[in-house]
Amino acid sequence: MNKDIIIILAEPQSPGNIGMTCRAMKNMGFTQLRIVKGCDRFDSEALKFAVSARDLLESAQVFPDLASAMADCTLTVGTTRRHGKYRQEILSPPEVGSRFREQVAPDCRAAIVFGREDNGLTTEELALCRWHATIPTSNEYGSLNLAQSVLLFCYELGKASESAGGGRPIEMANSKEMETLFTHFDATLNKIGFLNEQNPDHMMRSLRRIFFRANLDSREVTVLRGMLTQIDWASSAFDGRKRS
Amino acid sequence: MNKDIIIILAEPQSPGNIGMTCRAMKNMGFTQLRIVKGCDRFDSEALKFAVSARDLLESAQVFPDLASAMADCTLTVGTTRRHGKYRQEILSPPEVGSRFREQVAPDCRAAIVFGREDNGLTTEELALCRWHATIPTSNEYGSLNLAQSVLLFCYELGKASESAGGGRPIEMANSKEMETLFTHFDATLNKIGFLNEQNPDHMMRSLRRIFFRANLDSREVTVLRGMLTQIDWASSAFDGRKRS
């Protein structure tokens, strides 16, 4: 199972780290690397640090942004060092392992996303991910090297797949379906003046967290979009004026 | 506890790996590094890869051989990729963690020993160690980077030393709050004609499942009720007629 989990590097800045990431992935039996923009992966440093994992470097796929890199993925985990000010569950690597073990259906793609060496993932990028995870570190020096972080997650996921039990897999909606739902929510709530009144980003982030936690399946996404379509219809006469 | 576990590098060949080892140790809260001979630890590559862990590089102790480097240690673990031809139990990183947790007396020193990048520890060096351990890797490419190996052991030992408990409790909305939310959903969706079109019980059951699974907290219930109130307002001109 773990061979199918995709590792996504968002705008990696150091070719050496891309190479080391390939080595760490191959050490743990992972093969699928995706890169969002970032530096030259065929730089000599990348080749040097990949050692015997140059095949991964060569087969890596490159995408223009994170949304397209994970459009076909259902279980998406964004890694972060920050503990958001909004309520958001942050998983540990073994917790990610058990969720994957319990919830990955045979044909659903899973991805773990790692951000830039200096600044990690942006708030917007994290918002695209179903779950968030962090590696517990010393308070004194929490900045892990990028490839070290990848290794730790691959190691834990490898362990999780070894002990794979018989959890019931859930058919979750994929990233593209979820984004279509959020786009619809955003448009509808804007039109009825709900997002105008409040901090719109804040509100959409709350909705994202709620619906990601709910592990929606495709049918439920359809139900919610039907509800939004009906709200669109019912409020078509609404002129967006403020409530008194 | 883990701050007292000693990491020993036997004849490391790459200064960069020594630097990366320091960083990985400090990330996980380890401070005691010992080096058996090996390359210059103040080489510029070592300093570069240590980043903010130069203090460990500076405080590292250097020994002429492994026996003297671990003379004062009680629990010693030699790491290896080989599965010895003699019967020898080989522990996994979590097993080392539990042994340390169970067996480290308050005043006894423990050490984990890592060998050369190319050839690991010699048979004689392994024989000096009480226990042997290995990191499970892919059969296809089992050669881990030295600092990556150190990181994985430090990570597991850090986990072992965290005693159980400490999970963050989630403040979920209570039943009364949830029921108020569902009553509001029911009324609003009825009014805009969404529940009329479909099997209303079926639809409300779907929404219940979605929002129960989402483990809403009180603030999120308030957000969703605010959204429903705005839908009520925006659709106040709606006369409930069917869509064409």
- Among A131, A162, A193, the domain-final residue is A162
**pLDDT above 90 (res B52):** yes
Q: What is the pLDDT of residue B71?
A: 87
Number of Cα atoms under 13 Å in the Cβ half of residue B185 = 23
Q: What is the CATH number of the domain that holds B156?
A: 3.40.1280.10
Under a CB-based contact definition with an 8 Å cutoff, are residues A53 and B141 in contact?
A: yes
Domain that holds residue B75: 2-161
Q: How far apart are CA B149 and CA B197, in angstroms?
A: 60
Distance (Å) from the C-alpha of residue A192 to the closest C-alpha of chain B? 6
> How far is residue A188 from each of residues A182, B98, B106, measured CA to CA in Å?
10, 54, 62
**pLDDT above 50 (res A167):** no
Q: What is the largest CA-CA distance in chain A?
A: 68
Residues A95 and A132 in one domain: yes
B166, part of any domain = no
Candidate from A23, A136, A243 with C-beta closest to B145: A23
Q: What is the pLDDT of residue A164?
A: 44
Q: How far apart are CA A38 and CA A116, in angstroms?
A: 9
Q: What is the pLDDT of residue B168?
A: 39
Q: Which residues of B touch A144 (CB under 8 A)?
A: 24, 27
Residues A109 and A189 in one domain: no
In chain B, the percentage of residues whose pLDDT exceeds 90 is 49
Measured between CA atoms, the residue of chain A closest to residue B226 is A194
Residues A105 and A198 in one domain: no
Structure tokens at B129: 């160690």
Q: Mean of the pLDDT values across residues A156-167?
A: 62
B198, part of any domain = yes
B167, part of any domain = no
Q: Mean of the pLDDT values across residues A205-213?
A: 89
Q: Which of A168, A185, A170 is nearest to A127 (CA)?
A: A185
Residues B119 and B216 in one domain: no
Q: What is the pLDDT of residue B204?
A: 86
Residues B151 and B201 in one domain: no
- Among A162, A192, A207, the domain-final residue is A162
Least trusted range by pLDDT, from B48-62, B72-86, B105-119? B72-86
Question: How far does CA A150 lie from the centroid of its chain?
Answer: 14
A 183-212 → B contacts, CB under 8 A = 189, 191-194, 197-198, 203, 206-207, 209-211
**Comparison of pLDDT for B24 and B75, the residue scoring more:** B24
Q: Mean of the pLDDT values across residues A143-165?
A: 83
Measured between CA atoms, the residue of chain B closest to residue A151 is B148
**Interface membership of A140 toward B (CB under 8 Å):** yes
Q: What is the pLDDT of residue A102?
A: 78
Q: What is the pLDDT of residue A79?
A: 96
Residues A122 and A218 in one domain: no
Assign A236 a pLDDT band (cuts: 50, 70, 90). Answer: confident
Candidate from A214, A226, A227 with C-beta closest to B214: A214
**pLDDT above 80 (res A130):** yes
Residues A18 and A96 in one domain: yes
Least trusted range by pLDDT, from A18-22, B53-57, B132-136, B216-220? B216-220
Q: What is the CATH number of the domain that holds B209?
A: 1.10.8
Number of Cα atoms under 13 Å in the Cβ half of residue A143 = 11
Assign B239 a pLDDT band (cuts: 50, 70, 90). Answer: low
Residues A13 and A113 in one domain: yes
A239, part of any domain = no
Q: What is the pLDDT of residue B186?
A: 93
- Region of residue B193 (left: phi > 0; alpha: psi -120 to 50; beta: else): left
Quote the ipTM score.
0.71
Residues B28 and B73 in one domain: yes
Q: Which residues of B touch A87 (CB under 8 A)?
A: 217, 219-220
The verdict on a CB contact (< 8 Å) between A140 and B29 is yes
**Summary mean pLDDT of chain B:** 85
In chain B, how many domains are there? 2
Q: Which residues of B touch A94 (CB under 8 A)?
A: 159
Question: How far does CA A201 lie from the centroid of its chain?
Answer: 18
- Among A104, A127, A162, the domain-final residue is A162
Which tens digit of pLDDT belongs to each residue from B165-203?
Answer: 333 345 677 778 888 999 999 999 999 988 866 677 888
Measured between CA atoms, the residue of chain A closest to residue B208 is A214
- Tell me the backbone φ, ψ of residue B48, rounded to 5 degrees: -65, -45
Least trusted range by pLDDT, from A98-102, A147-151, B44-48, B191-195? A98-102
Assign B59 a pLDDT band (cuts: 50, 70, 90). Answer: very high
Q: What is the pLDDT of residue B44?
A: 93
Give me the helices (H) in chain B, please: 15-27, 44-50, 54-59, 66-69, 93-103, 123-127, 146-161, 175-191, 194-197, 200-213, 218-234
Candidate from A53, A159, A194 with C-beta closest to B230: A194
Q: What is the pLDDT of residue B103?
A: 67
Candidate from A140, A235, A237 with C-beta closest to B26: A140
A24, part of any domain = yes
B28, part of any domain = yes
Q: Mean of the pLDDT values across residues B56-75?
A: 91
**pLDDT above 50 (res B244):** no
**pLDDT above 70 (res B163):** no
The verdict on a CB contact (< 8 Å) between B213 and A211 is no
The verdict on a CB contact (< 8 Å) between A193 and B152 is no
Residues A101 and A183 in one domain: no
B156, part of any domain = yes
Residues A134 and A188 in one domain: no
A129, part of any domain = yes
Distance (Å) from the C-alpha of residue B29 to the closest C-alpha of chain A? 5
Q: Which H or E run includes A132?
A: strand A131-133
Residues B8 and B88 in one domain: yes
